[in-house]
Amino acid sequence: MTKKTWLGSAVSLTLLASLLAACGANGSPNGNSNSPNAGSDNAATAGGTSGAAANADASKNEPSEKPVTINFWFPGESQVLEDYFINAAKEFEASQSHIKVNVTVLPSGADEIDAKLNAAKLSGTYPDVFSAYLIFMGTRGALNEFADLGGYLDKWEDKSDIQESALDLGKYQGKSIGVGYFPAPEIMTYRKDFFTEAGLDPEKPPTNWEELKADAEKLTVKDDKGNIVRAGVDVPLNNASPFFEAFMRQNGSPIIDEEKGVPAFADQASTEAFEYLTDLYQLGAIPYDYQKKDTVPFVSGKSAISYLTPAAISNLLKDKPDLKDKIGFGPVLERKNHVAFTGYRLFTIGSTSKLKDESWAFITFMMSKDQMWKRYKQLQIPIVRKSLEDQFIAANPAINSVLIDYVKSGKGKPVTPFTTRYNKYIHQAYEESVTKAKPAAQALQDAQDALIQELKTIK
């Protein structure tokens, strides 16, 4: 495959087939920063500041050793995302002269990334810095592939400016192994014109479970034969865990006891959540696969309420600009717990990296206000710095004033080494429940028992 060299920078973009051939995978022998949990002076060179201030700090603390090279891997998704990371690495290099960055674009699929990481681990070419999906906090964290960042975080002067959710989601069994930078919340999105048509106030979206169900009933449209023309609310059928886990957590379920590492979803809280979602589904939902975003009924005007990511909303408005004034955004639903589903990507450092201090310097540069704002402007990635909240809301009040609460209260997939196995059984339980193949309580208990039994066979 193609290897691109970017003039004026030491950054190189190594594409898929050349992934494992990337040179200097764990750092130069000139580097001496192999402290696994130390926040050194070097680690502060790019931290928390931007522009001239960042350059000044970097110059002041610059080590005397020869330049070293760190390897940064991230999942590709679009050309604009790849361009952002390549340019950010160039800017980091320009801010100091000690650290160079090799940038490698991975496939976007988690399974493909797993294969690349497994090969890198065997060949001793594991990346110094890796942009990890949240699922990897459990699956890779359990294998001790990520360094403990606790010492660095304790000494990071900007730590208090980072949303707690972005830091909490980077923990595996109490140890900080990742820093969240890319929240992808699923936010309530609704059609104001459909609300008006149903006799509802278009400026008052539902705020709790009871209101959502009542509004969904009024918003459901059927033809003369009773067939669903438009659903009141999107209730997916397949691969829907990001959707239904929010309701489970809102009702008080831990889903997985992450400290003990055991399933805990066959509880009363999850049962009530599944019973509630079954009622919503039976109102007249249009079945669809939650992972296939192009099939979401709301996008084609076939439902009045849905849960969409900021990227999906942006794409919808680009395709259908006439909807700009017809779409509204609802709050995190109130229940026992104030929690929303938010996917995340996190910066991690490989536990075998010989350049941990330099890797941390790169991460703090990437978490700076300047880079965070660039990610928002270029990629529509919500900010996770508290000091940027007012600026973020002012940039697009209609959505960002709501979005910020989803980021603050966001919780992603359970951080566990058996997420794939958990997904298999919890999806089955959900589908059995909403289609009434089994009562919710039985579906959940059967799923939990089967998962526990399978986990016993792999221990």
For 346-365, what is each residue's pLDDT tens digit?
999 999 999 999 999 999 99
Q: Report yes or no: 349 and 149 within 8 Å, Cβ to Cβ.
A: yes
Amino acid symbol at 43: A
Structure confidence at residue 259 (pLDDT): 83
Cβ neighbourhood burial of 430 (10 Å; 0-12, 13-18, 19+): buried
With a cut of 60, say whether residue 435 has pLDDT above it.
yes
Same-domain check for residues 155 and 211: no
Together in a domain, 179 and 200:
no
Q: What's the distance, CA 16 to chain centroid?
A: 23
More confident residue, 173 or 441: 441
Asked if residue 29 has pLDDT above 80, the reply is no
Strand locations in 250-369 (E): 255-257, 262-264, 305-308, 327-329, 340-349
More confident residue, 430 or 259: 430
How many distinct structural domains can be found in the chain? 2
What's the pLDDT tens digit per position in 297-331? 999 999 999 999 998 999 999 999 999 999 999 99
Same domain for 288 and 400? no
Tokens of 142: 């359990």
Same domain, 125 and 165: yes
Q: C-alpha distances in angstroms, 364 versus 128, 181, 361, 382?
A: 14, 11, 5, 17
Q: Which residue has the tokens 């070097």?
A: 42
Helices 419-434/440-458 angle, 10° precision: 160
Same domain, 46 and 147: yes
Model confidence at 459, in pLDDT bands (50, 70, 90)?
Answer: low
pTM: predicted TM-score of the whole model, two decimal places: 0.83
- Domain limits for position 451: 187-342+417-458
Mean pLDDT (the chain, rounded): 88
Q: For 174-192, write each residue's pLDDT tens digit.
A: 999 999 999 999 999 999 9
Alpha-carbon span 130 to 363, nearest angstrom: 10
Q: What is the pLDDT of residues 233-286, one digit of tens each?
A: 999 999 999 999 999 999 999 999 988 889 999 999 999 999 999 999 999 999
pLDDT at 161 over 60: yes
In angstroms, the CA 412 to CA 415 distance is 8
Confidence of residue 398 (pLDDT cuts 50, 70, 90): very high
Let me know whether 259 and 117 are in one domain: no
Quick one: residue 75, left, alpha or beta (phi over 0 = left, psi -120 to 50 = alpha)?
beta
Pairing label, strands 129-133, 68-75: parallel
Q: Looking at the structure, do residues 267 and 167 belong to the same domain, yes or no?
A: no
Whether 36 shows a pLDDT value over 70: the answer reads no
Looking at residue 77, what is its pLDDT?
Answer: 86
Same-domain check for residues 18 and 114: yes
| Residues of the chain above pLDDT 90, percent | 82
**Could you tell me the two tokens for 266?**
């066959």
User: Residue 446: which CATH number?
Assistant: 3.40.190.10
For residues 363 and 19, which has the higher predicted lDDT (pLDDT)? 363
**Dihedral of CA 43/47/50/54: which sign?**
negative
Q: 204 and 250: one domain?
A: yes
Tens digit of pLDDT for each residue in 46-80? Answer: 333 334 344 434 344 444 478 999 999 999 989 99
Same domain? 274 vs 148: no
% of the chain at pLDDT higher than 70: 86
- Which residues, other chains included, contact 410 with Cβ-Cβ below 8 Å and sequence gap of 6+? 165, 169, 183, 185, 339, 340, 341, 342, 344
Instruction: Output the pLDDT for position 260.
Output: 87
96 and 40 within one domain: yes
Q: What is the pLDDT of residues 89-135, one digit of tens each?
A: 999 999 999 999 999 999 999 999 999 999 999 999 999 999 999 99
- CA 156 and chain centroid, separation: 23
pLDDT > 70? residue 223: yes
What's the rounded Cα separation, in Å, for the pair 436 and 443? Answer: 10
Residues 454 and 309 both lie in one domain: yes
